Each structure stands twice: as C-alpha cells, then as structure tokens.
Structure 1
Amino acid sequence: MTASEKKCQEELVALKKEFEEFVYIVSHDIKTPMRAISNLTTWIEEDLGTNADKDILDNFRLLKNRVERLEKMMNALLELSRINSSEMELYEVNIPKLVNDCIKMLADKSNVEFHFTYHLKNENTVTLGKKLQKVLFNLLDNAVRFHDKEKKNVFIEIIENETDYEIKVSDDGPGIPEEVRDKIFSIFYTVNSKDIVDSTGAGLAITNKIIKLAGGVFQYTPAVNNGSVFKFNWPKQ
C-alpha cells in the first residue's frame, strides 16, 4: 500500500467514525424534545377533556403519531450507524429454532401460514447470532407487514453449503413494482405510503448492511406469481 492509499484509508476511517458519532449525538439529542412534544400533547388533551372538539382531538392524535414515527426513524438511523460496532458476538445457534424465535417476535401473525424447507447437515452453527436473527426477523416482518391478501403464505428455505448458507424468504403478496426495485435498499424508502403501512422504511437498508458486514450478498427477485423473493448467502464463520 502506497503512502497516498494509506492516507486515504485513514481519512475514510476517520470520516466513518465522525459520521457515527454525529448520528449518535443527533439521534440522542432529538429524542428529548420529541418526547416533550408527545407529553405536552397528552397533557393538553387531558386538560380539554372528553367534550373537546373531535377535529382537535384527531389533530392531536395525528401529531403524536408523527412524533412517534420520527422517533422510530431516528432509532433506525442510529441502529444503521452502529451495525459495525454492536452485537458482534459469535455464539452457537440452532437455525430452525432461530427462525421460530423470529416468527414469535412478529407483531401480527394472524392468517399467516409459514412453510419451512431446510437442507442442513447440522442444525447448529457458530455465527453472529444477533445479526442473523435481525436479518431473518426483518425479512419475515417485511413479508407479513406488506402482504395484501387475506390469507398469507410465507416461505423460508435454508440450504447449507460447504462455506455458507443460502437463505431465501419469499411470499405470495403484491411484490414490488419494477420501476422502484432499485430503491428498496435505500434508508426510509417505502413502496407504500407510511400512512397506509406503518413502517419506517429502514428494515431492508439495515438488513443489506448486516449481510454485507457478514460477507454475504443480498438480492431481490420477483416471484413467479407476483410476490417477492429475498435471497442472501450467509458465510460460515
């Protein structure tokens, strides 16, 4: 490595550190006034009582909803900035159990049928357990949250290879329009309006960064009959 390349690398590391510190400070400092706005709104609602004008109460609820959404977005930005430095412990996990644990964590599993396909030489593996759990949860949550049918089908397939695992999470939902597929890994981007589906739009961006950190590749393809297929490889440690 030349002196010029070494200098550029050192500057890049310094810039990344500066960015992470900036995001942390901004996220932390903004949370306090956001909570104050939410609390003040609640107090004013209580002072007005139940006889207050319905439009006023609706506006207060909308205000609190927007503050809550902003706080979730700040939390997501903070999480994205700290991916390289947090939850980096290697430990043994049981892969089918990890998938089941992620499903249990989902907020709404009503009318969802999960289909499992495992081709594993050994169900247990030593890996970045928290990171893999976050990736699987995000993809399962995404498949359920954005599904548009009354009965939802979600498919999980995991194949163990010599050096990695091929993991695929797919569904029979609405899929992603071709014209916006290049945007889905961008932070805060959502196909649907955030007023229609409650989402920060950060899940896929966080997932993509974690997979890159682990040394894998993440890709989206449309399913044969609409729906979405998210596929990635997770290298063995």
Structure 2
Amino acid sequence: MEEIERNYKKELEVLKQEYEDFVYIVSHDIKTPMRAISNIATWIEDDLDPSVGGDIISNFNLLKNRVGRLESMMNGLLELSRVNRVELEFYEINIPKIISESIETLEDKENVDFLVINNLSNENVDTLGKKLTRVLNHLITNAVRFNNKEKKEVVIELNETAEAYEIKISDDGPGVPEAVKDKIFSIFYTVNSKDVVDSTGAGLAISSKILQVVGGSIKYETRDTGGSIFTFNWPKTITLKI
C-alpha cells in the first residue's frame, strides 16, 4: 500500500512538472505571434489614407484590444502555474504601508473612498513579501474595478490572531450572484462579460493559489448592505505547501 502511494505521488509530481513546462512553453510561443499581429495592425493603420471610415479604425482597435486581452490571459495563466516556484524570498514588510502603496498604484482611485481599519498589534512581519503584496493588489484592484457606482467605497480591515493576520476587504459594489459564488476563484472566470469590465479573471485564482501555497485561506461573502467581502488569512509562520 505504501509503495502504491509513493508511485502515485511520483506520478503526480511528474504530471505537475509537465503541466508547468507546457504552460511556460505555450505562453512564450504564443506571445511572439500575438505581438506580431498587434504590430502589423498598427502598421496598416499608419499606412491607411486619412479618409478611411471610422468603422475600419474601430475594427483595428478591436483587433488590438483582443490580442492584448489574450496576452494578458496568457500572462495570468503563466503566473498561476509558477506561484510555487517564484517570489519565495522572506523579508520584513509593514502591512499598512504595502496597502497604502497598493492604493497609490491604482489608476482609478479619484472617486473611491478608502477606509483602513488597523487593529494590528504588530504591523511588521517577516514573510513572503511579494506574495502578500500580490494578493492585496489583486483584491484591492477588484474592489474598485468591479464596482459600478460613480462614488465607490472600499473598507480594508486588519486583524490578527496568534497564528495569522486576517485581512478583510469589502466594497459597496454589485456583489456576486449567489448562483456563481463557487466559480469566482476559477481561472479566467468573471461575473460580468469581459466586454463590460476589461479583466482577464485571473486575479482571484492567483490569490487563492498563493494562499494555498503559504498555508492560508480566502473566502467570499456578500455584505449585508450590498457588495462583496473578501477575507483572507495570512499565516505568521509560513509552511510552504508546494
């Protein structure tokens, strides 16, 4: 029985390695022709007579947008496949500081009211800083991007236990329909059409995979007053599950 289990584990490791190698090779091989298509479309646009109709220009822009989206999806798939192989450096970070920096990098933050509730007794932690930053960036960006209100509200609450940091990010957007709540952590899934909100749908899948690797957890719930709440636990002591 033990020998069978060992064989299964070896086969699983081989399959995981083959999957990661496949994604890495395919994503890199596809990027070159995608960029060529985008460049050729731009060159044709530049050569067109100024009198060319707006529909043609619009179609060229649509072509370049779709190529860009496909490249972003390939980048997301590549990042997901390499979560347990890259950015594994431990160093000290200040959690409120990286949240502030994440907010500052947002493109559309002028119409957003951010409230950070800091209940941490120790703001500094020696951890996988880039991984934690990735998760925060994805969740904060989503809280803004998928909120369809003119004036948005995002609340970030920081708590801790003896074992973990608990970070809760809530918004007053439309929330997630009950029927699809189980799908939101799947790669490339988006509640809205990608033509409505330009997103690859990779952020939550990547965040969930990172938390799985570090031994944390993430959950979604609907806010009582409408909107979304994402709560994740980040262990104070990391035990990599690779």
Q: Does TM, scored on the shorter chain, surpass 0.5? A: yes
CA–CA distance in 1 between the matches of 2:53 and 2:143?
39
Q: Is 1:187 aligned to residue 187 of structure 2? A: yes
Once residues 158 and 212 of structure 2 are traced to their aligned partners in structure 1, the CA distance between those partners, rounded to angstroms, is 18
1:35 CA drift (Å)? 0.5
Deviation, structure 1 residue 56:
1.2
User: Would you say 1:77 and 2:68 are equivalent positions?
Assistant: no
- Determine the C-alpha separation between the residues in 2 that align with 1:231 and 1:84: 22
What is the CA-CA distance between 1:111 and the residue it aligns to?
Answer: 0.8
Structural mapping, 1:151-162, within 5 Å: 151-162=151-162
Offset of residue 53 of structure 1: 2.0
1:235 equivalent in structure 2: 235
Partner of 1:132: 132
Q: Which residue does the alignment assign to 2:171?
A: 171
Q: 1:4 aligns to what SS in structure 2? A: helix
1:102 corresponds to 2:102:
yes
Counterpart in 1 of 2:65? 65
Give the aligned residue type for 2:206. Answer: I
User: Is the aligned partner of 1:204 residue 2:204?
Assistant: yes
Q: Which runs of 5+ in 1 are unaligned?
A: none
Return the TM-score normalized by structure 2: 0.96
After TM superposition, give the deviation of residue 225 of structure 1 in Å: 0.8
Letter in 2 for 1:144: V
Query: Paired residues, what number?
Result: 237
Aligned residue for 1:127, secondary structure, equals strand
Letter in 1 for 2:175: G
- Residue type of the partner of 1:169? I
Superposed CA offset, 1:114-163 (max 9, x none): 11111112111101100000001100000000001111110101112111
Match of 1:189, as an amino acid?
Y
Aligned alpha-carbon RMSD (Å)? 0.9
What secondary structure sits across from 1:197 in the alignment? Answer: coil
* 2:47 maps to 1:42: no
Alpha-carbon deviation of 1:49? 3.0
What's the secondary structure of 2:216's corresponding residue? coil
For residues 58-102 of structure 1, give each alpha carbon's deviation from its aligned partner in whole angstroms, at most 9, with x where no partner exists: 111110110000000000000000000000111100111011011
Q: Deviation of residue 25 (structure 1)?
A: 0.3
The SS at the match of 1:142 is helix
User: Which secondary structure state, in structure 2, belongs to the residue aligned with residue 102 of structure 1?
Assistant: helix
Give the corresponding residue for 1:23.
23
What letter is aligned with 1:41? A
User: Equivalent residue of 2:70, what SS?
Assistant: helix
Per the normalisation by structure 1, the TM-score is: 0.98
Q: Give SS of 1:40's match.
A: helix
Q: Which residues of structure 2 form unaligned runs of 5+? A: 238-242
State the match for 2:149 in structure 1: 149
* Deviation of the 1:208 alpha carbon: 0.6
Q: Secondary structure at the match of 1:154?
A: strand
Distance 2:182 2:123 in 1: 34
- Counterpart Cα distance in 1 of 2:223 and 2:117: 17
User: Within 1, Cα distance between the matches of 2:116 and 2:187?
Assistant: 29
Paired-residue identity, %: 62
- Deviation string, structure 1 residues 1-49 (Cα, Å, up to 9, x no partner): 8111111111111111110000000000000000110111011111113
1:191 deviates by 0.6
CA distance in structure 1 between the aligned counterparts of 2:210 and 2:13, rounded to whole angstroms: 18
